[in-house]
Amino acid sequence: MSSNDKSGTFQLGNFNLSRLGYGAMQLAGPGVFGPPKDPGAARAVLRQAVTSGVNHIDTADFYGPHITNQIIREALHPYPTGLVIVTKVGARRGADASWAPAFSPEDLTQAVHDNLRNLGVDVLDVVNLRAMFDVHHPAEGSLEAALTVLADLQRKGLVRHIGLSNVTAKQIADGRRICEIVCVQNYYNLAHRTDDALIDELAAQGIAYVPFFPLGGFTPLQSSTLSDVARGLDATPMQVALAWLLRRSQNILLIPGTSSVAHLRENLAASQLTLARQTLEQLNGIAP
């Protein structure tokens, strides 16, 4: 990250990560399906991210499917020393672009090997198991069988670290009895704060929390308070929303996604914002 980056770092397993990373989901086509309109522009965003000091990229082989990982390999392989690629398993895409669970031992093993092949690596840095009991929200259900498969692949040397995505506090606690969990990826942002207590619990345990849709996802955050604060700081509302997340807890790692180099630079500049106590109180009031 640039010398102006104030986000700091977080120790995830044996990786020291800058807290402001990059999410590659938007590099695929519309609906995270099929190829992008401009593959060259997608590769340029990845290269600019790494040039700017980003040292962790979030992806999944079911983005596209396969497309996003192939673009990452084309743009960055051989990967620079210190770059960590975090991927996900547990889902598959239908021919109609639908999302479906892929939790069988065969599905998970195949997904790990697909990620290895399409990323062009011998071992995956971090693999997040995406719970799919409800596609959109955490829902209770046993992850024991699936995590046991991943733990076995870890012992075989194909996976370095294991994380969870779209999960409940109980699933995390149960999962930690099976293998070490280094990170949790859930839906969280300035306006959607269901996981407030969970973030604090994970921070106390030294586990990273990675909010997906940190800027609202397919429905960007809208708030007059957020807009007013941004004007006062001569920043964009999205920069303020990212800066708030960086201040929220030191275990939060951000992976804002974009397919635009200009937007990437804007996101990375969020680490330079300083939010005064009064400003934080205003922003904290946005959530219901």
Catalytic residue numbers read: 63
> What letter would DSSP give residue 211?
E
Q: Which positions ≥6 away from 236 have C-beta within 8 Å?
A: 230, 266
Comparing C-alpha atoms, which of 65, 74, 66, 19 is closest to residue 45?
A: 74
Backbone angles phi, psi at 195, to 5 degrees: -90, 15
Query: Which DSSP string corresponds to 154-195?
Result: HHTTSEEEEEEES--HHHHHHHHTTS-EEEEEEE--SS--TT
Distance linking the first and last C-alpha atoms of the chain: 34
154-159: long-range contacts (C-beta < 8 A, 24 or more apart)?
Answer: 154/179, 157/123, 158/112, 158/113, 158/116, 158/123, 158/124, 159/112, 159/123, 159/124, 159/126, 159/127
Q: Distance between CA 197 and CA 23 in Å, rounded?
A: 24
Encoding tokens for residue 214? 């940190």
Comparing C-alpha atoms, which of 255, 128, 229, 245 is closest to residue 179?
A: 128
SS3 136: coil
> What letter would DSSP give residue 253?
-
SS3 64: strand
